[in-house]
Amino acid sequence: MYYSIKRIKSSLTVSEKLKINVVLAGRTYPLSVNSAQEEEGMRKAAANINDLISLYEKNYAVNDKQDVLAMCALRFASQVEIASIDATKKEDKALEKIKSLNELIQAHLDEVH
C-alpha cells in the first residue's frame, strides 16, 4: 500500500508545527500541520487517495501515475462540488420554509391586531 505518515514531533506548542511525511503514489511528501486534528485529516486523505489509486490501477489500463492522479483529483473535486450543490439546495428549501412560516406568522398577527 502507498500510505504512510510518520509523526516526527510528538507534542505541539502554539508556535510549533507538526512535521509529517505523507506517501502518495509511492512518493514521500514532507508537510507541516498545525494540529493533531489536521494530521488526522491528512492521514485519512492520503489513505483515501492511495485506495483510489489502487482501484484505478486495477480497473483501468493506466500506465502513467499522472493520469491516475488526475483521475483522483477529478473524483475528489467533483465530490466537493456535488456536496456544495446539495448543500445549496437544502439551504434554499430551508429558506423557503422559513419564508412560509414568516408569512403565516405575519398573517396571524395581522388578524389579531
Please count the structural domains in the chain. 1
C-alpha–C-alpha distance, residues 44 and 71, integer Å: 18
Q: What is the mean pLDDT of residues 12-33?
A: 86
Q: pLDDT digits over 47-59, tens only? A: 999 999 999 999 9
pTM: 0.67
Query: Where in the sequence is the domain holding 56, given as residue range(s)?
Result: 5-112
Q: pLDDT digits over 67-89, tens only? A: 999 999 999 999 999 999 999 99
Which residue's entry shows cell 434554499? 92
Integer CA distances (angstroms), 38 to 19, 33, 35, in order = 11, 6, 5
